[in-house]
Chain A
Amino acid sequence: MDGPMRVLVTGGSGLVGRAIERVVKEGERREGEEWIFLSSKDANLVSAEETRSVFQKHRPTHVIHLAAMVGGLYRNMRQNLDFWRDNVHINDNVLYMSQEFGVVKVVSCLSTCVFPDKTTYPIDETMMHNGAPHESNYGYAYAKRMIDVHNRACFQQYGLRYTAVIPTNIFGPHDNYNIEDCHVMPGLVHKTYLAKKEGKPLEVWGSGRALRQFIYSVDLARLFVWVLREYDEVEPIIASVGEEDELTIKDAVDAVVEGFGFKGEVIYDTSKSDGQIKKTASNAKLRKYLPDFKFTPFKAAVKETCDWLAANYDIIRK
């Protein structure tokens, strides 16, 4: 295509969308480029007509597709049908309209949580469809996997190089901090803030033994921009810190406690589910392309997130 990109970012008001907005503003944007950040207020992407309208309005050349129905472990376990259906509709609408409107490239967002439950470790990009996902969120997992199926079929039938990124556990400012629904890091950050404020113990769900690789949203945002500009494969790419940086939930708890300077008791409620015990992902493919990419050190990133929540508590999503 000729001329600068016009990039539509769906889910633009979310955790990753806000991070992309920030890195674009702080230097990643190039001359003449236009970046449009959509939220659910602009269009309900579950509806084909509303998706069409928003594509007609903006006529993007590129799309970063982040919008999804997401939730933490507990909400997924209760509503697998809704997670399956709504996400399939959102994804089909965005990918299909992109094709109709001649979008050159779409970068969608998957997750390591969609990988097979029974697997060898570390997991890599070739393994996504090698078995059934974890029982707790199979609706969401299959919907995300089908983005990759759609991309491959679209490439086979039309030659379009739409692709996807597979982050591990993301955290940062502008997350969903609702304690019932959210993911592990924002949940810890919010609960520690409240525990400190109310002078109560911090109650952590699960045993603390589950292992995760965490990626700071601002680092992921830089990688999304790189994928949009430079990554040419249809096969997705894992965006994560290396296996050597895998942490336990307890490590994460300790970092959040330190980030807030929390002095109270920490209690682990082992009656609550741990979810998957490990999901170790290989970032070898990323390192092959970007051997020198520097991730923000975990404790510093957690501190930034805690400071942001404390400064913005009134407006956070909760």
Chain B
Amino acid sequence: MRVLVTGGSGLVGRAIERVVKEGEGREGEEWIFLSSKDANLMSAEETRSVFQKHRPTHVIHLAAMVGGLFRNMRQNLDFWRNNVFINDNVLQTAHEFGVVKVVSCLSTCIFPDKTTYPIDETMIHNGPPHESNFGYAYAKRMIDVHNRACCQQYGRRYTAVIPTNVFGPHDNFNIEDGHVLPGLIHKTYMAKKEGKALQVWGSGRPLRQFIYSLDLARLFLWVLRDYDEVEPIILSVGEEDELSIKDAVNAVVEGMEFKGDVIYDTSKADGQFKKTASNAKLRKYLPDFKFTPFKAAMKETCDWFEANYDIARK
């Protein structure tokens, strides 16, 4: 295989790069990790050029315009348009270049807002997504529509994975724009350094399933090699491992050894209250897959952040 990884410098891309280097890569395989420096995937021509240059047989498509709750709420049009362009360019160019398989990256945050729980892979399109990020959510959903239509018209078996909340080294730790865990880690680091209280946005009550980027990376490789369905697959710890934001705060506080006050600013939005996803399909395929324990993964991430503060994206 010659595998092109778009969004290769991001949270998940770096994790895949690491697991490939540390033993998951196979004899004769070539892995190319792209970043936005290599190509602006919103441009059809630049996407074409990068495919012409590398001629991949496989693609892991992670590149996207992403942001936390607050940025999404302000810029739904940009999140919709830019992601549709990126996705259409990558998927269409992959098809034109005869790429055998593309594995794209969706998210549980794109599922219907009004729904029963746990959510599963069959439910993605069953209703409108949460109002806070409908632009991003619809753009991601349309990857699945594109995959199904491409299979129906051309027989291609492009597919997608649906992670829950991902965390780990090399994340975007920008406090305004980042997701909940990297935001917490950065803020705890600052609170500790400045001897101030840790201010958490929201009530701490929303529930999430967290998946460590390295675990997700190993699962991406399995999907690329062995998962044959066009229908996407949820990649997550089980429902039994769902945690509140407050649980996550406590793990970060412990991981950073923070001793100060923790204040919850309930004037800030919580986002969706719960997004409980079923990993039954994953467990059907991989009953023995072991996830890294949450506190250990959190400790690794906090340690990485402290050691790499200067170069971390923020």
Chain A positions near chain B (C-beta within 8 angstroms): 78-85, 88, 92, 96, 129-132, 138-139, 142, 146, 149-150, 152-154, 156-158
Complex contact A131–B125 (CB within 8 A): yes
Choose among B74, B76, B88, B125 the residue that contacts A88 (Cβ–Cβ < 8 A).
B88
Complex contact B84–A92 (CB within 8 A): yes
- A–B Cβ pairs within 8 angstroms, 22 of them: A80-B148, A80-B152, A81-B146, A81-B153, A81-B154, A84-B146, A88-B84, A88-B88, A88-B142, A96-B81, A129-B128, A130-B126, A131-B126, A138-B145, A138-B148, A142-B142, A149-B138, A150-B81, A153-B77, A153-B80, A154-B77, A157-B77
Minimum Cβ distance to chain B for residue A83 (Å)? 8
A132 to B81, CA, bound (A): 21
Complex contact B128–A81 (CB within 8 A): no
A88 to B145, CA, bound (A): 12
A88 to B154, CA, bound (A): 19
B-side interface size class: 20 to 34
Q: What is the 8 Å Cβ interface bit string for chain B, positions 146-161, against chain A (1 contact, 0 not)?
A: 1011101110000000
A127 to B83, CA, bound (A): 25
Complex contact B153–A157 (CB within 8 A): no
Which residues of B are found within 8 Å of A156, using beta-carbon distances?
A: 76-77
Which residues of A are found within 8 Å of B84, using beta-carbon distances?
A: 88, 92, 146
* Chain B, interface SS category: helix
Which residues of B are found within 8 Å of A82, using beta-carbon distances?
A: 153
Is B260 an interface residue, CB under 8 A from the partner? no
Complex contact B81–A92 (CB within 8 A): yes
Which residues of B are found within 8 Å of A149, using beta-carbon distances?
A: 80, 134-135, 138
How many A-B contacts if CB must be within 8 Å? 72
Chain B residues 269-299 with CB under 8 Å of chain A are none
Residue in B closest to A78 when the chains form the complex, CB atoms: B153
Given A152-B134, A153-B77, A153-B135, residue A81 in contact with residue B127 (CB < 8 A): no
Complex contact A131–B127 (CB within 8 A): yes
Complex contact B128–A130 (CB within 8 A): yes
A80 to B144, CA, bound (A): 13
Choose among B80, B125, B134, B152 the residue that contacts A132 (Cβ–Cβ < 8 A).
B125
Choose among B78, B138, B146, B150 the residue that contacts A157 (Cβ–Cβ < 8 A).
B78
A9 to B128, CA, bound (A): 30
Choose among A79, A81, A132, A152 the residue that contacts B126 (Cβ–Cβ < 8 A).
A132
A80 to B154, CA, bound (A): 10
Given A96-B81, A138-B148, A152-B134, residue A146 in contact with residue B142 (CB < 8 A): yes
